[in-house]
Amino acid sequence: MAGKLEFELVSPERLLMSKAVEMVVVPGADGNFGVLKGHAPLTSTVRIGTIDVYDDRPTISERIFVAGGFAEVTPERCTVLAETAIAVSEMTAAAVAQEVKDLEEDLADAKDEAIKAKVAAALEIAKAKQAALAA
């Protein structure tokens, strides 16, 4: 089972990553799952969290924040189709804090229930970004 796994991360905007890695850890709907070359076939939804990419274990080489999507695993490949994806290294604590503050104000000002639900979902994602930066 030794060897590299082909990993692809795709967002609606573009292909974010396509490379051979030793392991990835994906935030699945039922909990995080690690994928190595030779993994059993699997399909899972992806929850809000971070994908940890390992070029060489035990050190994480890249962390990518994702918010929703699907993962498909085969013995040779792991493909994640993410609704939202951004490298944690590209986020700043100040920008995310401002995003949280703005969304909290928007939520307090919202009158329509549909708008409240949409803003609350965006606020959940923004707070998860803060948690990803703190980890």
Instruction: Give the pLDDT confidence of 62-97 residue by residue, as tens digits.
Output: 999 999 999 999 999 999 999 999 999 999 999 999
Instruction: Give the pLDDT confidence of 14-37 residue by residue, as tens digits.
Output: 899 999 999 999 999 999 999 999
Distance CA 135, CA 98 (A): 19
The two tokens of residue 131 are 């948690």
User: What are 59's strand-pairing partners?
Assistant: 56
**Is it the case that residue 57 has pLDDT exceeding 80?**
no
User: What are 34's strand-pairing partners?
Assistant: 25
| Peptide bond preceding 58 in cis form (omega within 30 of 0) | yes
Which string of b and e fits 74-84 if b means at least 16 CB within 10 Å? beeebebbbee
pLDDT at residue 43, rounded to an integer: 95
Distance CA 44, CA 70 (A): 6
* Phi and psi, residue 30, nearest 5°: -100, 15
